[in-house]
């Protein structure tokens, strides 16, 4: 898929690397980029061999969001509604995947590109990466990027980004909760691999159930969240891997998955 806007690689562990491949346009989320990324995510959703997805990018930018030049060529409401609906569907697909998605951020991530980082389950960035919800600089409040942003960051820090459009560096992004880890550029892949290796060593079923539970319960009241979590744990305990894990704990040995 070297000529594609999305490059796809999969290793023997079931780790899929999806790479945004439009560096000259800073990996902008145009309609075709969104279509190809959606197709890749849909295929992963039905592939039981996949364990983890790493979302990476070619070039200096991770993703600059939507291309305002392309958007300015349209003046009809229907076009904008379709574009943002397409982007929102793709973002939701990341959350709905049965496996974790890790953003590997090597450069700037702005507007919907920052949204993409926030939407991923985990994010690791180069110390040289920078982040902004910059639409307000051009008269467009980053409304859709605000959805995952305020679910990652404290509200005042998120509002400052949204209202000013100013960049924050990787250290601040980690401090505010947008990133899990920050590494020097030459150690970025090693930092991502450390997370990947930890995840693929765990049972896929437990990871799938856990990811779904976390996002569902977050939107619930406390009592409903506990009810759902309790039911999920009970169901999880019936899985063969959980039974093996319990036996291994009792017998003071490593589980065999």
Q: Region 94-105: what's the mean pLDDT? A: 98
Please tell me the predicted confidence (pLDDT) of residue 1.
40
Buried b (16+ CB within 10 A) or exposed e, 201-214: ebbbbebbbbbbbe
Quick one: pLDDT at residue 238? 86
pLDDT over 90 at 164, yes or no: yes
Q: Higher model confidence: residue 20 or residue 244?
A: 20
Rounded to whole angstroms, how far apart are CA atoms 63 and 134? 12
Percent of the chain whose pLDDT exceeds 70: 99
The pLDDT tens digits of the residues spanning 68-88 come to 888 888 888 998 999 999 999
242 or 232: which leads in pLDDT? 232
Distance, CA of 28 to CA of 61 (rounded, Å): 9
Please give the domain boundaries of the chain with CATH numbers for all domains: 6-200 (3.90.226.10), 204-250 (1.10.12.10)
Other beta carbons within 10 angstroms of residue 13's beta carbon come to 15
Of 206, 256, 201, 200, nearest to 51 by C-alpha is: 200
Q: State mean pLDDT over 144-153.
A: 96
What value does the mean pLDDT of the chain take?
94
* pLDDT higher than 70, residue 97: yes
Query: What mean pLDDT do residues 239-243 have?
Result: 86
Q: What is the pLDDT of residue 228?
A: 86
pLDDT of residue 3: 62
Exposure on the CB side of residue 88, measured as CA atoms within 13 A = 11
Q: How do residues 165-187 score in pLDDT, each as one tens digit? A: 999 999 999 999 999 999 999 99
Q: Residue 2 above 70 pLDDT?
A: no
Q: What is the mean pLDDT of residues 146-164?
A: 97
Mean pLDDT in residue range 38-53: 97
Band of pLDDT at residue 239, cut at 50, 70 and 90: confident
């Amino acid at each position: 898929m070297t000529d594609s806007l999305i490059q796809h690689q999969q290793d023997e562990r079931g780790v899929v690397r999806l790479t945004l491949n439009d560096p000259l346009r800073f990996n902008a989320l145009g309609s075709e980029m969104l279509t190809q990324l959606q197709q890749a995510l849909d295929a992963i959703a039905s592939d039981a061999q996949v364990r983890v997805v790493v979302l990476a990018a070619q070039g200096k930018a991770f993703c600059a969001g939507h291309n305002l030049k392309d958007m300015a060529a349209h003046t009809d409401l229907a076009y904008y509604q379709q574009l943002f609906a397409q982007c929102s569907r793709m973002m939701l697909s990341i959350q709905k995947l049965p496996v974790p998605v890790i953003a590997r951020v090597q450069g700037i991530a702005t507007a919907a590109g920052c949204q993409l980082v926030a939407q991923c389950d985990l994010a690791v960035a180069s110390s040289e990466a920078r982040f902004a919800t910059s639409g307000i600089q051009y008269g467009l409040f980053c409304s859709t990027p605000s959805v995952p942003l305020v679910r990652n960051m404290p509200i005042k820090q998120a509002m400052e980004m949204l209202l000013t459009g100013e960049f924050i560096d990787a250290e601040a992004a980690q401090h505010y909760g947008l990133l899990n880890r920050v590494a020097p550029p030459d150690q970025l892949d090693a930092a991502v691999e450390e997370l990947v290796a930890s995840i693929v060593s765990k049972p896929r079923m437990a990871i799938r159930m856990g990811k779904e539970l976390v996002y569902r319960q977050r939107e619930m009241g406390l009592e409903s969240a506990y009810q759902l979590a309790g039911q999920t744990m009970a169901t999880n305990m019936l899985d063969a891997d959980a039974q093996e894990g319990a036996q291994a704990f009792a017998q003071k040995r490593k589980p065999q998955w």
